[in-house]
């Protein structure tokens, strides 16, 4: 049981694409009692696996004389959906003031992925000793919370009887909103568009993050300045006022809030100066801009299905040149793709039962071609237990089928779409479906597949296509609507881009994590985009 924990290096561990920060709260229950005269004095250490080694990230405080500690110090970890982030929570009984962990008595540990914790929101597990046996009755509870203020503010503003600044016409007014900076100076947050030739402008509603406008503090003063636009950049100052978000939120559609726009210089000079016009806050609404993690922590499950290409162009699986040949290491490109994607997604599905389907093969006993068959040969229950179950069913089915053709994608796309359509009847952000198709080549039913993808784009569903072998994958690039909107043969456009295509050959010599990052990078935003489009908040969300 050697812990060579070193304090974490400066800066967060992980790639630069941090989705957000997660706060982890830790409690212990029924910990081992290592002290003779009193109870244990536990503290918890968090490790993260980096390049195969456990690196210490942080420690909690020590809970004196307590076998059921609730630690007040929280762990803050950068969360990356597309990575397997392995964590280890180790509890020790503090005996000395030493920073070296071997100086303290070990009370047990628990290892898991960050994905497991956030998908459950809260987990309680048995603590284990170094030999893998339970640490007495010791348990650990870990709860996750996203650390971000996801509120946004939408303002609708207008002006009335603003000062006339142009000699021959009216003014061309625009607004600038400022918040106090750390240095005591005002910092520009937002500038509206210019409304030409009017003293009674109505600006378009605009939305900014609440953190940007007032650092999330609705009582903080903000400053609004009104100018008359000049094309040479020398804009004329009309007037200003200070207010707060809390005050602006008093504005209702029926009762707008009216604020006097004051020019301090004019106010000093003129005795009977009233104002330089009125700025009207027509409406001010604070809402939540939910993130991927909000939906996961709210209980959304990611439903994973695999579709495997068994067409003849793959080659005889007993021949080492075949793409389905399982090498002495027990793998091939199909299996590598299943592992890469599956090991990330399985953390987000509570029952970890995944349908695995095949297409393009002749099946016993009558050797009819099927484009949608369960690879475990159980059509009423095509589910495999975990990624290991998919791998086992795949290996077991290879000797029993005949590779054939053509390469039809649409049956499997439509198969998953039927389940996704059923999920929409719940009218809640509870399930999102991910179809991984692994294929060696050109699609035979391109028109039908395009149509199926366009229809699926209206559903809680994404499609990942991994191309194995060295074929021409131009058609796959076409389905992946990164460069242009995908259209059905009827001319109907996809509502959103739901296909992510990657050729496996680009990752043959890269670390296996790289493939997962590439194929899953767009998934969080696809999930959020769908539920937002449907106006569905996370299941257990709080009001703004």
Give the whole-angstrom CA distance, residue 373 versus residue 363. 9
Residue-wise pLDDT tens digits, 437-474: 999 988 899 999 999 999 999 999 999 999 999 988 88
Cα Rg of the chain, angstroms? 30
Ramachandran region, residue 108 (left: φ > 0; alpha: ψ -120 to 50; beta: rest): left
Residue-wise pLDDT tens digits, 375-421: 999 999 999 999 999 999 999 999 999 999 999 999 999 999 999 99
Domains of the chain are 20-147 (2.60.40.150), 151-288 (2.60.40.150), 296-534 (3.40.50.410)
pLDDT of residue 89: 98
Check pLDDT > 90 for residue 513.
no
Closest of 449, 420, 144, 467 to residue 302, by C-alpha: 420
Give the whole-angstrom CA distance, residue 9 versus residue 7. 7
CB 449 within 8 A of CB 486: no
Q: Between 46 and 252, whose confidence is greater?
A: 46
pLDDT of residue 19: 59
Check pLDDT > 70 for residue 11.
no
Could you tell me the two tokens for 535?
Answer: 């106006």
* Confidence class for position 17, pLDDT limits 50, 70, 90: very low
Cis status of the peptide bond prior to 263, with omega within 30 of 0: no
């Amino acid at each position: 049981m050697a812990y060579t924990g070193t304090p974490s290096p400066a800066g967060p561990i992980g790639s630069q694409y941090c989705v957000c920060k997660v706060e982890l709260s830790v409690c212990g229950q029924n910990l081992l009692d290592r002290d003779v005269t009193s109870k244990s004095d536990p503290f918890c250490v968090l490790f993260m696996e980096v390049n195969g080694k456990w690196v210490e990230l942080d420690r909690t405080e020590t809970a004196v004389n307590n076998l059921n500690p609730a630690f007040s110090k929280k762990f803050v970890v950068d969360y990356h959906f597309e990575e397997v982030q392995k964590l280890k929570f180790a509890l020790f009984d503090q005996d000395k003031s030493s920073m070296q962990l071997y100086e303290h008595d070990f009370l047990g540990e628990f290892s898991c992925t960050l994905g497991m914790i956030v998908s459950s929101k809260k987990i309680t597990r048995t603590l284990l000793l170094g030999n893998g046996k339970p640490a007495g009755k010791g348990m650990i509870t870990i709860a996750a919370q996203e650390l971000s203020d996801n509120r946004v503010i939408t303002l609708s503003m207008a002006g009335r009887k603003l000062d006339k600044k142009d000699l021959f016409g009216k003014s061309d007014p625009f607004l600038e909103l400022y918040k106090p900076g750390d240095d005591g100076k005002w910092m520009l947050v937002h500038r509206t568009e210019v409304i030409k030739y009017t003293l009674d402008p109505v600006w378009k509603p605009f939305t900014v993050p609440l953190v940007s406008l007032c650092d999330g503090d609705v009582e903080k003063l903000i400053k609004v300045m009104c100018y008359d636009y000049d094309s040479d950049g020398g804009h004329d100052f009309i007037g200003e006022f200070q207010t707060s978000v809390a005050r602006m939120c008093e504005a209702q559609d029926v009762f707008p809030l009216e604020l006097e726009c004051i020019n301090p210089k004019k106010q000093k000079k003129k005795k009977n100066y009233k104002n330089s016009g009125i700025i009207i806050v027509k409406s001010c609404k604070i809402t939540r801009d939910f993130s991927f993690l909000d939906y996961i922590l709210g209980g959304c499950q990611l439903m994973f299905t695999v579709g495997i290409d068994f067409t003849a162009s793959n080659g005889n699986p007993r021949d080492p040149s075949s793409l389905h040949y399982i090498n002495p290491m027990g793998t091939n490109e199909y299996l590598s793709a299943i592992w890469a994607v599956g090991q990330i997604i399985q953390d987000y599905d509570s029952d970890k039962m995944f349908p695995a389907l095949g297409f393009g093969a002749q099946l016993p006993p009558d050797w009819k071609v099927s484009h949608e068959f369960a690879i475990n040969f159980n059509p009423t229950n095509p589910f495999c237990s975990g990624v290991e179950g998919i791998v086992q069913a795949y290996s077991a089915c290879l000797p029993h089928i005949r590779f054939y053709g053509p390469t039809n994608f649409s049956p499997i796309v439509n198969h998953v779409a039927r389940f996704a359509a059923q999920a929409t009847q719940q009218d809640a952000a509870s399930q999102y479906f991910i179809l991984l198709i692994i294929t060696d080549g050109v699609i035979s039913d391109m028109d039908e597949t395009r149509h199926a993808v366009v229809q699926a784009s209206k559903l809680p569903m994404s499609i990942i296509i991994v191309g194995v072998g060295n074929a021409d994958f131009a058609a796959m690039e076409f389905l992946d609507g990164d460069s242009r909107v995908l259209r059905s043969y009827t001319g109907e456009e996809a509502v959103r881009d739901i296909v992510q295509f990657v050729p496996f050959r680009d990752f043959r010599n890269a670390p296996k994590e790289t493939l997962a990052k590439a194929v899953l990078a767009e998934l969080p935003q696809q999930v959020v985009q769908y539920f937002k489009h449907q106006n569905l908040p996370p299941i257990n969300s709080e009001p703004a």
